Structure 1
Amino acid sequence: MLLRARKSTISKMAAALAVSALALTGCGSGSPAASDGPVTLRFSWWGSDVRHKMTQELIDAFEAKNPNINIEGEYGDWSGYWDKLATQVASQDAPDIIQMDAQYLGEYADRGALLELKDVDLSKFDKAAADAGRTQDGLYAVTAGMNAMVVMANPALVSASGVPLPDDSSWTWDEYLETAASITAKSKDGVSGSGPITGDASFNLWMRQHGKSLFTNDGGLGFDEADATEYFEYQASLRDAKAVPSASVITEDASASVDQQGLATNRYAMAWYWSNQLGALSKASGQALEIHRPPSVEGKASSAEQFYKASQFWSASSKTKHPAEAQKFIDFLANSVEAGEIGLADRGIPGNSEVRAAIAPKLTPTDALTAKFIDDIADEVGEAPAVPPAGSSPVSEVLTRYNTEVHFGRISPQEAAKKSIEEIKSTLA
């Protein structure tokens, strides 16, 4: 997936309405007491049939160790998941344990729909991974798996161009542009040096490297119009240098499935993706794709402000009647080596470092490469980004849309900055 929004507008609105309708709930102080008798917990998640079967194995393993706790699964695909969850929350019938996404975490946590997870052990998590689900008010989500934003490269296309890639620990944004432009110029027609760099994640990385951020911890914007103008000016430079494909190709690619996008179909020598997509993209392209760090302003990986992103989270409903048992299940999912060996890298690389080490020998070659990358950048990762605030779900789509307008030349970088900020502020309001 390119770094862009793939969210349903209807789902976003439904989630906002549902959590707005929910009365704020306090979780009290201290740890909740476990129930004396048998307990049934509902657990919702989205994913493929492969994930459904694997998740049932996780449930079976937990129930074998906890015979007094029964877990009932509720699952479906992404397209209907958020509408269903919004309806359940609004009707006070939310599942006890919820597979959560970063784009919706702020919506549900800020309005009291989620339980503060005080009893889940994160001592074996990297700090950035542990903090990914933490708002100003507490921990409302636990990282189910970690991703990092990466530049994936097609070695066959790079080699055919004769243009060497710079050292990814020291390349700058200017060097990235120059390299991509040179690859385009020296490749056959239809091949671009880079795919588009778009969406909220790349925007946030750019801002972090410039001493700013997409959001602040109190829910505001962490950048201003001048900051955004510089970002969109870089997009115009990519366009003018032909480092990326034409705006019309970018638009077509945006609506394509991952296995039909430019990197997967051997039309881009480099492209920006999440690290856990390496396997799918390598399979689709028929190439052993490489993972590289994104560029930095200073040409130093140590100051690149890279960040871990939770591929998904584990959350619990604030309305659960069994908070102790719900947290016990989440703790099992997050910290059990047995759970790690069942799930492997399906939901991303485990946040628990001991689990990560235990499953390494069992990973596929591409997942093992991803896990190694996650470990390699551990000392380079900056603080966890602020949890997106309520109303922020459309932000990635807004940034992507104005980015495309700049590539078409229909709007100036200054206009894109001004209008995107106005639109983002209106969604947050």
Structure 2
Amino acid sequence: MKKILSLGLATAMVVGTLAGCGGNKPAETTAAPETTTAAATDASKAPETTAAGGTTDIVWWAFPTFGVDTGYEQEVVDAFTAKNPDINVKVEYIDFTSGPDKLTAALTSGTAPDILFDAPGRIIEFGEAGYLVPLDDMLDELKSDLTSQSLIETCVGADGTAWMYPISSSPFYMGLNKEALEKADALQYVNLEGDRTWTTENFVKMCEALRDAAPTQVPGIVYCGGQGGDQGTRALVNNLYGASIVGDDGKWNISENGVKALTLLKSMYDSKAIDAGFDMAAADELQKFQQETAAMTFCFGTSSEITYASDDFTQLSVPFPSESGKPSLEYLVNGFAIFDNKDEARAEASKKFVKFICDDAEWGPKSVVKTNAFPVRTSFGDLYPGDEHKAMLASWSQYYGPYYNTRAGFAAMRPLWFNMLQQVFNGTDPQAAADEFNASANSN
């Protein structure tokens, strides 16, 4: 039986989790052109189980994880249809701004699509609320081929039911403006060798050097005006002194070292070594980085490297700084969910299509590369031969931290996080702000 949408789920859907770093930013480039959506089904109408000729009609709602306006979705649909003429797949493109609201409306009105390409946070919420088809049979077949068994926890709910079928993953990290750092003599504090790990001490020195050089841009912006890309600010706080957002008891917890990090960031804000984006989410901060009004971003990733690319300066990718020099990175997993529309034929057709996108010998690797991330399947091997940058990013998987986005209360925790940051930058004692966060986050 489907549960009524909880406040947490509704909140999570209003914010683009998949966007990761670009979740709340309206952008002209996120909407697909009309010519590419001509084949899309009307969202207010559920597709018929079978069409003329005995075909099964299914609908795929696609966020632009394969890139913006590439037409790749239709390419893979055409390839699948050529091999499976009895299944008709219609693509509807949704963006990170209006897409979450569209999903909410579809779920509440009973007009959900059959397939959604998204990230674990939202997908697991959908599954736990009773809106999805379990994918245990598919995930069981994949387990022996996974690059890391830890990926399993990103696909299952609290009771172990598989709600997502993964295709690719990649880390979240920081981006730096190389030329800005060089002008400020701040590049000396950044490790550009090996896996580029570096320390909190050198991070502070870099920010102070950028500040003292008095360039036209601020050193960096700790955005705290919304949930979009909030994993970046949590990674910053958690890494500076080796904290974690989840305690040993499994509860949400800003620990003593987290408070120490908040205290440091407040002092850096007071000294203008960093800025606070009270009205910004990650997409706004990334845009400032792209426009060279900020010398760094705390929400870089393989997709934002493309979306916020610039020919005007060199973008350097680095892991988050830590006191020990060993980071703990957040990471993204891309995958598919299948909605339970009470039609076995559509569910089975949807599973077949999802497996084609992810597992087909030709189109599986192509699809992974289109996400600009790394395969979750060992059998796919290295899909970026000779690319030293991709090899470095892939090596950072050794620094992946615990995956908490599918924990109970995640959606409710997120607004508390950026509100807590605002309080700290507005002068609230970091310990008091952390205590309030911990109590509120665990109140449900």
CA distance in 1, matches of 2:85, 2:244: 46
Contact (CA 8 Å) 1:38, 1:68: kept in 2 or not?
Answer: yes
In 2, are the aligned partners of 1:212 and 1:223 still within 8 Å (CA)?
no
Report the residue type matching 2:185 in the other structure: G
8 Å Cα contact 2:221/2:297 also seen in 1:
yes
- The question of whether the paired residues in 1 share the 8 Å contact of 2:286 and 2:299 is answered with no
1:44-74 per-position Cα deviation (integer Å, ceiling 9, x unaligned): 1233994472211111111112222221223
Structural mapping, 1:18-417, within 5 Å: 38-47=55-64, 50-51=68-69, 53-120=71-138, 121-127=142-148, 128-136=150-158, 137-163=160-186, 164-167=188-191, 169-185=196-212, 187-196=213-222, 199-203=230-234, 206-207=237-238, 213-215=244-246, 221-224=251-254, 226=256, 228-245=258-275, 247=276, 250-251=277-278, 253-254=280-281, 257=284, 260-261=287-288, 263-276=289-302, 277-283=304-310, 286-300=312-326, 304-310=327-333, 312-319=334-341, 320-322=343-345, 323-340=347-364, 342-343=366-367, 345-353=369-377, 357=381, 359-360=383-384, 371-389=390-408, 392-393=410-411, 395-409=413-427, 411-417=428-434
Contact 2:177 2:295 in 1 (8 A): yes
1:12 aligns with 2:10: yes
- Measure how far apart 1:153 and its partner are: 1.3
Distance in 2, matches of 1:343 and 1:42, equals 18
In structure 2, distance between residues paired with 1:217 and 1:71: 45
Superposition deviation, residue 292 in structure 1: 0.9
**Structure 1 residue 108, shift from structure 2 partner:** 1.1
Secondary structure at the residue paired with 1:143? strand
Q: 8 Å contact 1:195–1:268 — kept in the other structure?
A: yes
Letter in 2 for 1:68: D
- Determine the C-alpha separation between the residues in 1 that align with 2:254 and 2:431: 11
* Structure 2: distance between partners of 1:51 and 1:131: 32
Q: TM-score, normalised by structure 1?
A: 0.75
Contact conserved, 1:204 with 1:214, CA < 8 A, in 2? no
d(CA) in 2 for partners of 1:281, 1:274: 9
**What value does the CA root-mean-square deviation take over the aligned residues?**
3.5
SS at match of 1:78: coil
Q: Determine the C-alpha separation between the residues in 1 that align with 2:247 and 2:356.
A: 32
Q: Secondary structure at the match of 2:399?
A: coil
Aligned-partner Cα distance in 2 for 1:74–1:268: 35
Cα distance, 1:179–1:125 mapped onto 2, change above 3 Å = same
Contact kept in structure 1, 2:134 and 2:163, CA below 8 Å: yes
Moved more, 189-198 or 73-82: 189-198
Match of 1:19 in 2: none
Shift of 1:419: 2.8
Aligned to 2:27: none
Distance 2:407 2:231 in 1: 11
Deviations 1:205-230 (A, max 9, x none): 75488776435899x63425645533
TM-score w.r.t. length of structure 2: 0.73
Deviation at 1:202, TM superposition (A): 3.7
Query: In the alignment, residue 407 of structure 1 is paired with which amino acid?
Result: F
Do the aligned partners of residues 281 and 83 (structure 1) sit closer, same or farther apart at CA in structure 2, a change above 3 Å counting? closer
Amino acid in structure 1 at the alignment position of 2:315: L
Query: For the structure 1 residues 348 and 145, does the alpha-carbon distance in structure 2 shift closer, same or farther, using more than 3 Å as the test?
Result: farther
**1:135 to 1:175, Cα distance in 2 relative to 1, 3 A:** farther
Counterparts of 1:95 and 1:254, CA distance in 2: 28
Cross-structure match for 2:50: none
Describe the shift of the 1:318–1:117 C-alpha distance in structure 2 as closer, same or farther (beyond 3 A): same
Aligned equivalents of 2:13 and 2:283: distance in 1? 26
In the TM superposition, structure 1's runs of 4+ consecutive aligned residues that sit over 6 Å from their partners are 208-212
Q: Tell me the residue number matched to 2:437.
A: 420
- Deviation of the 1:176 alpha carbon: 1.4
Q: Is the 8 A contact 2:8 2:411 kept in 1?
A: no
Change (3 A) 1:378 1:254: closer
CA shift digits 1:69-90 (9 cap, x unpaired): 2212233223332233233333
Runs (5+) with no aligned partner, structure 1: 1-8, 17-36
Equivalent pairs, count: 381
Code of the residue aligned with 1:176 in structure 2: it is F
Q: Distance in 2 between matches of 1:115 and 1:288?
A: 44
Structure 1 residue 407: deviation in Å?
Answer: 2.1
Q: Is the 8 A contact 1:134 1:140 kept in 2?
A: yes
| Contact kept in structure 2, 1:205 and 1:305, CA below 8 Å | no
Are the structure 2 counterparts of residues 407 and 209 from structure 1 closer, same or farther at C-alpha, using a change threshold of 3 Å? closer
Question: Which whole-Å CA distance do the structure 2 matches of 1:189 and 1:209 have between them?
Answer: 25
Contact 1:40 1:71 survives alignment (8 Å): yes
Q: Using a 3 Å threshold, how does the CA distance of structure 1 residues 143 and 216 change in structure 2: closer, same or farther?
A: farther
| More off after superposition, 137-146 vs 166-175 | 166-175
Q: What is the CA distance between 1:193 and its match in structure 2?
A: 3.2
* 1:376 Cα deviation from its structure 2 partner: 1.8
In the alignment, the residues of structure 2 paired with residue 109 and residue 255 of structure 1 have an alpha-carbon distance, to the nearest angstrom, of: 27
The answer to whether the 8 A contact 1:334-1:352 is kept is no
2 CA distance for matches of 1:62 and 1:216?
A: 45
Instruction: Compute the displacement of 1:138 (Å).
Output: 2.4
- CA distance in 2 between counterparts of 1:14 and 1:183 reads 36
1:355-390 CA distances to partner (integer Å, 9 max, x unpaired)?
8656426xxx9xx5663233222333344335143x
